[in-house]
Amino acid sequence: MSSRLNTVQNEDCIAGLKKLDDGMVDLAFADPPFNIGYDYDVYDDKLHSRQYLDWSRQWMAEIVRVLKPDGTFWLAIGDEYAAELKIMLQELGLTCRSWVIWYYTFGVNCKNKFSRSHAHLFHMVKDPEAFTFNADDPAVRVPSARQLVYGDKRANPKGRLPDDTWILRPQDLPEGFRSDGDTWYFSRVCGTFKERKGFHGCQMPEQLLGRIVLACSHEGQLVLDPFVGSGTTLAVAKKLKRKFLGFELSADYCEEIKRRLGRIKPGTSLDGVAHPLTSAPDTANGCRLDQRQARKKATRGKKSKPKEQTRTLF
């Protein structure tokens, strides 16, 4: 099995998982198809509801089997099947430690309902009495209000643990959505972002995966992703000096993932901004379309200064 580690396997995840030994995985993260008709490379994302749930139970049962007794599983899922899959995971023997809401701006624009701007992240453990959670790791903790706002001598100098709602775009509500509040905020990886790899439309941000990997595993442990997609889980695991293994149905995606992993060295910094409060201006300091057009109109017709003539000396 060691020959399969630190790779992405081009095969169906259920078939791949069945080849793994019981209890070998420390941390698993899955961002499966949501069954909402997304246009993947080779996967049909519009199954009958019963078929999708049966399929979900199959691969999640394999995840539970390959987890170590103190292993952890994180599931990212949309609204459509979040409730069903959470209950299913509990029926399979896992315990929910946290139900995290990841809120982001640049959400999905919808025509006949409120625009989608969040996903569910279920933090599940195999043994509720024995599991990895690195609560004292400074890379996991965030500054507290006592440190940042009140100058309170009772403040823990290590900061505090983040709460269980993760938000992106807190710039307009700095008091309502603080980094030490009940919200995690990480940007969705949009098409214009430098972090974007371009070959997959559903790329998870490295900073979000970084928090999970840092909190729920140690260096040298094994991180598994059954739906590698754009490769973010494996990239983060490699950067944070974990072993990794993933499965991806698309041969084209696999080749892109291998190229992405090949450019990474263990210890490399994660892509993206760790603290989105500093990554973009708030609305008051931004620029509206009408303001931009007014500026263009004001400068239109102004004669530009003639360029100074220069001479090259040899």
Sorting pLDDT into bands at 50, 70 and 90, what band is 235? very high
Are 103 and 183 contacting, i.e. CB atoms less than 8 angstroms apart? yes
In the numeric block, the tokens 């030490």 are attached to 180
Range list of β-strands (E), the chain: 7-9, 25-30, 67-77, 95-108, 116-125, 165-166, 184-185, 222-225, 243-247
Angle, in degrees to the nearest 10, between helices 49-66 and 82-91: 40
Sorting pLDDT into bands at 50, 70 and 90, what band is 6? very high
Sorting pLDDT into bands at 50, 70 and 90, what band is 176? very low
Region 229-243: mean pLDDT is 95
CA distance 87 to 118: 20
pLDDT score recorded for residue 112:
76
pLDDT score recorded for residue 2:
59
Closest alpha carbon to 232 in 267, 190, 195, 191: 195
pLDDT score recorded for residue 309:
42
Region 204-209: mean pLDDT is 87
Region 220-240: mean pLDDT is 95
| 153 or 312, higher pLDDT | 153
Closest alpha carbon to 270 in 222, 214, 198, 188: 214
- Given a cut of 80, whether residue 237 has pLDDT beyond it is yes
Residue-wise pLDDT for 80-122, tens only, equals 999 999 999 999 999 999 998 887 765 566 677 777 778 899 9
Region 253-270: mean pLDDT is 93
**Rg over CA atoms, the chain:** 23
Are 126 and 96 contacting, i.e. CB atoms less than 8 angstroms apart? no
CA distance 2 to 313: 65
Residue-wise pLDDT for 274-300, tens only, equals 655 555 555 555 555 566 677 777 777
**Cβ count within 10 A of residue 218:** 15
**84 backbone dihedrals φ, ψ, rounded to 5°:** -65, -45
Q: Which residues contact 61 (CB under 8 A, 6 or more apart)?
A: 92
In b/e form, how buried is each residue of 140-165, taking b as 16+ CB within 10 angstroms? bbbbbebbeeeeeeebeeebbbbbeb
pLDDT score recorded for residue 164:
73
Closest alpha carbon to 208 in 150, 131, 295, 140: 140
pLDDT score recorded for residue 126:
95
269-273, 275-279, 306-310: range with lowest mean pLDDT:
306-310
Q: Identify the CATH number of the domain defined by range 2-298.
A: 3.40.50.150
What pTM, to 2 d.p., does this model score?
0.75
| 106 or 251, higher pLDDT | 251
CA distance 126 to 67: 8
